[in-house]
Structure 1
């Protein structure tokens, strides 16, 4: 792993000629991602992120923490004990430099040790599930990390709108699997990361998988095609 996302975060923090990240998926063109966006404060976050942070309580695990903006808000503004978790070594180093007291570089499937009151997965949190075929593995892992009365706050987007429609409103979607399974590629300063599997989930599909893995689920808010869901143990 070249850790290009981490390199961009590192460069921005150290004022070392940062450039915009570029991202693309198997169904979308190149898109600019300004690296400063990853350092935004609460006011710069979208409604879904803000709601998730407002609902967070107790011992909190922030999965896919990136530059640590969500963790920082919870630690500094809400005085919560937060663990920032990411597979990017450079990102976790910047989390520490920004003042996050507990930052861990590890894959969520390898992470263990305690249970949490709140588990956060934001900025299309279902992405880390990779594919529908692996969603049970991840949900079982999350179940094991959650206190009996704890909550998982996770967001995603139903990307059905990205596919072409016929005159009758029917949607042309791929026949070889679920339409939310994408390849996601990051580019930075002329380098390209190998594609990773990334999963966008419609709410009904997430609901079905969550209930099959011992969770109750409710949709907290919806914003256009995106939503925030709360999972709790049955």
Structure 2
């Protein structure tokens, strides 16, 4: 994104200058608030699905879309060899300031050359695919970053609940091309706006089909409290 809205807000919070909220505008004609202090939470304040994912991490770990580095710091303190990756230069700087030893400032699709035992994509990190039609490319690339016996841990949500339901238990989804979990967002902070960007929320069954089509197994590790879930993907042998 041309404007590094999230990086600016993370930087301001860490520097003690955070006095405005990050507003999220979505394609559902809704506004939401991204609580930046939440990105600095410790393990005890993390959702159960995130805690479970962190406990399942093994070996060398690539924390994709690391943000302020809270997951990386926890894994590092556990003794794991973790690398924090984010496309935001300011987020990566804050990770280093907070004590993350290994960082990479790069978009995941541009990153290559190193393989890991665990790829971690939390807070709906798989959303970076943007659209369902682009998920295959992302899964193939992620698979290329795995060592033998490696795993991809990710959480996402089935956002069908955001649409109106009928008496028969079905849902009214507006006529439009594409998958209902495809969203567009725009961030706003201190009068600056990001470019509009695509983001993907994917139901588990659709994820499983996409994973299998790209030579990855897909295991439902755990369901969350509200249409969210944690999945583990591994190369098929």
**Aligned equivalent of 1:216:** 217
For 1:90 and 1:189, the matched residues in 2 are separated by: 16
For 1:160 and 1:39, the matched residues in 2 are separated by: 29
For 1:199 and 1:18, the matched residues in 2 are separated by: 30
**Aligned equivalent of 1:12:** 13
> Does structure 1 conserve the Cα–Cα contact (< 8 Å) formed by 2:125 and 2:155?
yes
For 1:170 and 1:34, the matched residues in 2 are separated by: 33
For 2:58 and 2:29, the matched residues in 1 are separated by: 36
Q: Deviations over 1:163-210 (max 9, x none)?
A: 012333321113311000000111111221111100000000000000
**Aligned equivalent of 2:183:** 182
Unaligned runs of 5+ in 1: none
For 1:222 and 1:108, the matched residues in 2 are separated by: 26
Aligned residues: 233
Matches within 5 A, 1:153-164: 153-164=153-164
- SS of residue matched to 1:5: helix
Question: Within the alignment, does 1:121 sit opposite 2:121 as a pair?
Answer: yes
For 2:152 and 2:32, the matched residues in 1 are separated by: 29
TM-score, normalized by length of structure 2? Answer: 0.95
For 2:28 and 2:18, the matched residues in 1 are separated by: 30
> Does structure 1 conserve the Cα–Cα contact (< 8 Å) formed by 2:9 and 2:18?
no
Which stretch has the larger CA shift, 173-182 or 140-149?
173-182
**Aligned equivalent of 1:227:** 229
**Aligned equivalent of 1:53:** 54
Q: Deviations over 1:68-110 (max 9, x none)?
A: 000010001x111111011111101101111111111101111
**Aligned equivalent of 1:197:** 198
> Over aligned residues, Cα RMSD in angstroms?
1.1
> Does structure 2 conserve the Cα–Cα contact (< 8 Å) formed by 1:216 and 1:233?
yes
Q: Deviations over 1:27-74 (max 9, x none)?
A: 152112221111000011101110000111100000000000000100
> Does structure 2 conserve the Cα–Cα contact (< 8 Å) formed by 1:38 and 1:66?
yes
For 1:143 and 1:46, the matched residues in 2 are separated by: 26
For 1:58 and 1:95, the matched residues in 2 are separated by: 20
> Does structure 2 conserve the Cα–Cα contact (< 8 Å) formed by 1:19 and 1:34?
no
Question: Within the alignment, does 1:110 sit opposite 2:110 as a pair?
Answer: yes
**Aligned equivalent of 1:88:** 88
For 2:57 and 2:170, the matched residues in 1 are separated by: 39
TM-score, normalized by length of structure 1? Answer: 0.97
